[in-house]
Amino acid sequence: MKNLSLAKSYLDKARKRLKTLSLLLEEDDYSDVVRDELSFYGDIDFIPSEQYSKDDAQRAIDDAVFAVQMADLTIQ
């Protein structure tokens, strides 16, 4: 089934991207941690590096891990 193989491909990519989030967190790059599961584009007067805290970044990682785990259960 084409949709199942596409879903598995996206899940594999998501697992790989999760690994990068810890490095971004260690580098205090909180806005990029948040952005790698969410998306935002050039809002006026919105400076991402000034908008997100370490807690926001950790919450984003936790949410991303949960989403990948749930997707993994669904696909299996």
Query: What's the confidence (pLDDT) of residue 43?
Result: 61
Task: Give the domain ranges of the chain.
Answer: 2-75
Distance CA 24, CA 36 (A): 10
Question: Is pLDDT larger for residue 1 or for residue 28?
Answer: 28
Distance CA 56, CA 67 (A): 16
Condensed to tens digits (0 to 9), the pLDDT of residues 21-72 reads 989 999 999 988 888 675 555 566 667 778 889 999 999 999 999 999 999 9
Beta-carbon-side half-sphere exposure of residue 57 (alpha carbons within 13 Å): 22
Query: What's the confidence (pLDDT) of residue 42?
Result: 56
- 8 Å CB contact between 71 and 14: yes
